[in-house]
Structure 1
Amino acid sequence: MSYDLVVIGTGPGGYVCAIKAAQLGMKVAVVEKRKTHGGTCLNIGCIPSKALLHASEMFEEANHSFEALGIKTSKPKVDWKAMLAHKDKVIDGNVTGIDYLFKKNKIDVHTGTGRVLGAGRVEVKAEDGSTSIVETKNIVIATGSDVMPLPGIEIDEKTIVSSTGALVLDKVPNRMTVVGAGVIGLELGSVYARLGAEVTVVEFMDKILGPMDADVSKQFLRMLKKQGLKFKLSSKVTAVQKKGRALEVTVEPAAGEAAAAALDADVVLVAIGRRPYTEGLGLAEAGVELDERGRVKTDNHYKTNVDGIFAIGDVIAGPMLAHKAEDEGVAVAEMLSGQAGHVNYDVIPGVVYTSPEVASVGKTEEELKAAGIKFKSGKFPFSANGRAKATLHTDGFVKVLADAETDRVLGVHIVGVGAGEMIHEACVLMEFGGSSEDLGRTCHAHPTMSEAVKEAAMATFAKPIHM
């Protein structure tokens, strides 16, 4: 059978692209090497980690907030197996949902490893070694990304783990060393810290969450330290050796100017980033060009240098975010159907799902200064917000950055409970070119955490009411 579109990979970008294309009238097939759909995100990434984050946050609330709110309980205990079972149930529910959507939209599923044989032809190699050829007018590569290894350190997914292994540990470790203070490292590190592990985070840079606004990074570091996490910034891990049942982690200054130190750990989580997954896809043989970082090179319409072959998501340039991949998948499907698909890369939010959350969209203060753009900055702390006081969630702030001349909002940064939800009013505003005055003069329900967004916007052109 011949198709209008074959999508290789059924992660967020791939499955959304396939569904949208089918909705637009195309005959679509997907190729997936896993037995389940959803990619890293649904199976071993975004979704399962959020299940554990939520469970650990509830445990933390029960231990530290209930009494202050007048709730008396016996001391809560962690049932780790039950937490993992909850996580697995969440995964199964989401994966089953994708299966249903594929059937609903009459999308054919080919299970096996996809290999591009050239424009219009994809080889599918099944688990038993048998192969078949699928013919199509267009191919979308949506194979996502894989864990970035740490040179000289072998990940066994038992005691030296990636994010994959960190989601299936047989017990909560007493001591955990996290290599990398990015989103994944801080999210999973905070899970285990809340559940009782002594967590030390080693970061090569002199700040956590490298790309984030410096104000947010500094405030968030203080919050995490207050929660008990320890940090070794401007440092690097150069070796991990087994000592009986434990591990000895060798840590050196990033600049290499001082003596090495040793950390004892039961588990080491390597979270230094991800790299595009292009291995075994036959791209070189098909003539598809990659850039110096191994990403598939595309034009503004996600087209590679080979006619009929497109690429989206983590496998191309840009932030490795599920929602970015989803929007690109929709855009490609629309373009292939003759519509004007488009993704606004200036308005892609980023969220760190810790407790509290960190969220941002648009430019940071440092980026605006580097670009020579004159701007106004407004900040408002949650400690002055009525709803935050009532719920004991007063840590953090909202920061709004607006063009000094036009007042157009250029960036919004939030650290606080619910930041990942609040950031979207900033996204909508920025998508339509709104100003900080537009935001500051928009009526917000009282009492809500979102009022802090309004007050931060007011601080860029006038004065906030509650400060």
Structure 2
Amino acid sequence: MVHYDFIVLGAGPAGRRAAIQAAKLGKSVVVVDDRAKVGGVSVHTGTIPSKTLRETALNLSGWRERAFYGQGYRTRTTICSDDLDQRIGKTFDYEVAVLEHQFARNGVQTINGRGSFVSPHEIAVRRELDGSFVEEVIKADKILISVGTRPFRPAHIPFNKTNVFDSDNFILQPQMPSSLTVVGGGVIGLEYATIFSALDIPVTLIEPNEQLLPFMDKEIVDHLVQSMRERGMSLRLGCSLSYIHFSESGDPICQLADGRLIGSKMVLFAAGREGATSSLNLKACGLEADSRGRLEVDRTTFQTNVPNIYAAGDVIGFPSLASTSMEQGRAVACHAFGKAIAADDQKPPYGVYAVPELSSVGMTEADAQQAGIPYECGIARFKETSRGHIMGLEAGILKLICHRETRKLIGVHVVGEGASELVHIGQAVLNLGGTIDYFVENSFNYPTLAEGYKVAALDLWNRLQVTPAAADKDAAAEPKPGRSGRKKKAA
């Protein structure tokens, strides 16, 4: 039996970061993954291909230039499935090559096979060898479960890989349907719905909740919703899907619980994901997943209730982002092998790559209200900045939230072009305990969208000048209406 210091189950963002970090600490590491190539869900069917699809759609459709050249402007008059697939394939090959090089450079071994627990320290790996399947058992002091998730597939949904897809099959076979219905208004469903809308495909989005993306600030989500409606997307919020049946021509028809029917050429069912833990034989190591296949961990060390076994990435649930998964993986390796881990008081940014994209860090208005924090907000609109006008941006806002008394920045929320990049400026100031004075007192390159920070901070500054005492004084000086209901003239 081969013995390692560290076995990693799954080669996604959490797994690969943990493996490389452990290797840099001088540990023997092996990564077990049942895919033919490394990368996990992130590279194969998640983050990388979906964001590549987004960029391809925006480039080929001429979406970014339509404010200047009209809604009929197109970079390419006809866009086919091969156009979408070609760029995804090139990006995939590049990402895999980079990861394989990183593993090789750091001495991380990989085994292409399916791992399952034999005991808390032993993993049985079933893999194909010379046309037949063989099984070997490997052992380690520490084990990380980072197997990611797979699409939630209810039994009553007729998935067929033809015109009813889950999110994994959808990106593996990118197509250009004449119409699309997306079931699920979470991050994945919202991203695909807006991407295909940007390709001028009629899209209907079905979401049982009234509010999209409830973990983000409501104002920027409302801005996104307005943008979606203005370009003709049909939003069925507060509506649930009962079942899907087919027309005589074979097209899927979604039956809503309120009796309405939605017909389209294709349906993407993206209402959630579940941890890919069913094949791990968790009972053998003393672990149990929840109803969605997810594992519970200590959110600082990422240890499970079995001390030598850790879990990280999407398999432990929210926020299920590649960026946070990577940091979780690094924290696992550091804790497992006695190296100090970073403080957990840092606020990570969240990004949603819809069209337009959204990103945020820190508190939302709802968070501040719930915590009883006196706060104020400042807004900058992209279309009112010189760079935004040059770029022809019609949508987009940058919103800052600060503590009213200390002026400390407590939240940054952006929707619009480059939101996922812009948010990092606010992230640095927020996590370093800075105030909005930084934005007011420092210069920004001009013209840039980042200048929106100064605009929003000045908006905030003006609002903060209204103190409770001043407000009371103004109210006392306000002329009182006379008997006729009209205000008396000031003396």
Do both share a fold (TM > 0.5)? yes
Map 1:57-456 to 2 at 5 A: 57-61=58-62, 65=66, 68=69, 76-127=77-128, 128-150=132-154, 152-169=156-173, 171-243=175-247, 244-253=249-258, 260-291=259-290, 294-299=293-298, 300-342=300-342, 344=344, 347-456=347-456
In structure 1, what residue type is equivalent to 2:250? R
1:170 shift after superposition: 6.1
Q: TM-score, normalising length from structure 2?
A: 0.88
Q: Out of 230-239 and 312-321, give the one that drifted further.
A: 312-321
Q: Distance in 2 between matches of 1:75 and 1:318?
A: 39
Q: Distance in 1 between matches of 2:364 and 2:159?
A: 34
In structure 2, what residue type is equivalent to 1:458? L
Q: 1:156 to 1:74 in 2, by over 3 A?
A: closer
In structure 2, what residue type is equivalent to 1:287? G
Q: Distance in 2 between matches of 1:74 and 1:103?
A: 41
In structure 2, list runs of 5 or more residues that go unmatched.
465-491
Q: Distance in 2 between matches of 1:96 and 1:75?
A: 31
Q: Out of 167-176 and 399-408, give the one that drifted further.
A: 167-176
- Number of residue pairs aligned between Structure 1 and Structure 2: 457
Q: Distance in 2 between matches of 1:330 and 1:427?
A: 20
Structure 1 contact 176–198 (Cα < 8 Å) conserved:
yes
In structure 2, what residue type is equivalent to 1:145? T
1:438 shift after superposition: 2.4
Structure 1 contact 63–76 (Cα < 8 Å) conserved:
no
Structure 1 contact 158–169 (Cα < 8 Å) conserved:
no
1:314 shift after superposition: 1.2
Q: 1:213 to 1:225 in 2, by over 3 A?
A: same
Root-mean-square deviation over aligned CA pairs: 2.3
User: Could you say what secondary structure the match of 2:115 adopts?
Assistant: strand
Deviations 1:422-442 (A, max 9, x none): 011111122212222223333
Q: Quick check: which has more Rg, 1 or 2?
A: 2
Q: TM-score, normalising length from structure 1?
A: 0.92
In structure 1, list runs of 5 or more residues that go unmatched.
254-259
* Cross-structure match for 1:256: none
Q: Distance in 2 between matches of 1:63 and 1:17?
A: 38
Q: Distance in 1 between matches of 2:75 and 2:313?
A: 47
Q: Distance in 2 between matches of 1:451 and 1:74?
A: 29
Structure 1 contact 376–401 (Cα < 8 Å) conserved:
yes
1:282 shift after superposition: 1.8
In structure 2, what residue type is equivalent to 1:381? R
Q: Out of 366-375 and 211-220, give the one that drifted further.
A: 366-375
Deviations 1:78-104 (A, max 9, x none): 132132111111111101211111111
In structure 1, what residue type is equivalent to 2:316? I
Matched-pair identity in %: 28
